[in-house]
Structure 1
Amino acid sequence: MKLVVGLGNPDREYRDTYHNIGFNAVDILAARLDAPAFAYDKKSNAELADVALGGKVLLCKPQTYMNLSGDSVGYLSRYYKIDMRDIIVLYDDIDIAKGVVRARLDGSAGTHNGMRDIVSKLGGTGFARVRIGTGFKPNYMSLADYVLSHFSSGERDLLKAACEAACDFTEKWIKGEDWQELTVTVAR
């Protein structure tokens, strides 16, 4: 079994914010894979959908709020006995320009609190990650205000294209296709 996790915040007010770009990407992946509708699972405190693609794939959107994402991921990895190498996390990254997507099989949590919590709850960094660039925080904004701000209608197409690229990487990972580290810049 493989676990694909998109990071975000559960409330409607956070929809279309930079911090919810992981949720957006997993929604696109679910549509591509003809997954059933996401259903809330109380034990993991996550919305889940499963599909078969060369084996069972569990799609997950933690409902814990970003900074506690590891609670859902840790629970699911223990309950289903999912090896860390069979987990991939899609999430926003303010240290990468908008329209740039980077995928790696391992690495640090960087400045992302949701990833820090996942690393802590899994006890290591040996899981894949796809970082979707949301651009650099303007000097006049706090980090929290920036990541929770809504992206403009003009950015919508660029960020959707970045999510599509993130899904391309994720599908390759699910299928076991060989990649170590990939970076792509979508058209602006």
Structure 2
Amino acid sequence: MKLIVGLGNPGAKYAGNRHNIGFMAVDEIHRRHSGFQPWRARFQGQVSEGRLGSEKVLLLKPSTYMNESGRSIGEAMRFYKVEPEDIVVLYDELDLPPARFRMKKGGGHGGHNGLRSLTAHIGADYRRLRLGIGHPGDKKLVSNYVLGDFSKADKDWLDPLLTNIADHAGLLAEGKDSQFANKLTLALEPDKARRVEKGDKPKSDDARSGKTRGQSHIRQARQQKTPDIPKSGPMADMLKKLLGGG
């Protein structure tokens, strides 16, 4: 049994939040692979069993809220007697720009409360698919940002990202993380795909997605820099009010 886990918060109120991109990715896997059972309540979460290729897989969305995700995942892990390397966790990453991703195994929690809880319950050796949502530019804005919904414009990069994660999820189930990262990168980077057709090999380390379908506004979003915000004075006071920081 392999566990593919999406992190997020339960309920309609949070369904469209940036913090719930892990839930969204697992939901897309469930939608695009017909062999999975309907969602049901188990292990303090919502689960669905099915197969991806030759691998038996449990999809899991913890219902414990983000900060207690480890309780749900730890319960499922102990029941199926799986090892941390058999668990893939999909979650939002502030330190990656929108439309980018990174695949890795082990490491710290980086301030992510879902990972902090997970590591406390099962250790740090699980596999991670970090899905970039960008950073609002000020730590004071992070909470409202991650608990805010994706915009309509975000769908231009979000939908292809989720679709391709689902299409290549079988590689995650088989533990072929480098191949998964390469496939996802090539699907989201037409320029790199053309280079591979000419004989160049894609990078096999922590690959991350690039230009989505060649759309110019995605390029602009990645190149955009957060403006400097004055720390004091009349301008700073005005910006704090506009941004909700004061």
- TM-score, structure 2 normalization: 0.70
Partner of 2:206: 181
1:52 aligns with 2:51: yes
- Map 1:99-138 → 2, pairs under 5 A: 99-122=99-122, 124-138=123-137
- Map 1:1-188 → 2, pairs under 5 A: 1-34=1-34, 35-41=36-42, 44-53=43-52, 54-122=54-122, 124-139=123-138, 141-167=140-166, 170-177=169-176, 179=178, 181-187=206-212, 188=218
Identical residues among aligned pairs (%): 36
Q: Report SS of the residue matched to 1:160.
A: helix
* Alpha-carbon distance in 2 for matches of 1:51, 1:45: 19
Flag the structure with larger Rg. Answer: 2
Amino acid at match of 2:19: H
* Alpha-carbon distance in 2 for matches of 1:181, 1:171: 18
How many correspondences in the alignment? Answer: 185
* Alpha-carbon distance in 2 for matches of 1:111, 1:146: 15
* Alpha-carbon distance in 2 for matches of 1:178, 1:11: 30
Change (3 A) 1:45 1:140: closer
Q: What root-mean-square deviation, in Å, do the aligned CA atoms of Structure 1 and Structure 2 show?
A: 1.7
Does the CA-based 8 Å contact 1:90-1:166 persist in structure 2? no
Structure number having the greater strand percentage: 1
Give ranges in structure 1 of 5+ residues lacking alignment.
Answer: none
Structure number having the greater helix percentage: 2
Change (3 A) 1:186 1:67: farther
Change (3 A) 1:15 1:156: same
Superposition deviation, residue 55 in structure 1 = 2.7
Q: Report SS of the residue matched to 1:185.
A: coil
Q: Report SS of the residue matched to 1:74.
A: helix
Change (3 A) 1:57 1:158: same
Give ranges in structure 2 of 5+ residues lacking alignment.
Answer: 179-204, 213-217, 219-246
Superposition deviation, residue 178 in structure 1 = 5.5
**More contact order relative to length (CA 8 Å, sep ≥ 6):** 1
- TM-score, structure 1 normalization: 0.91
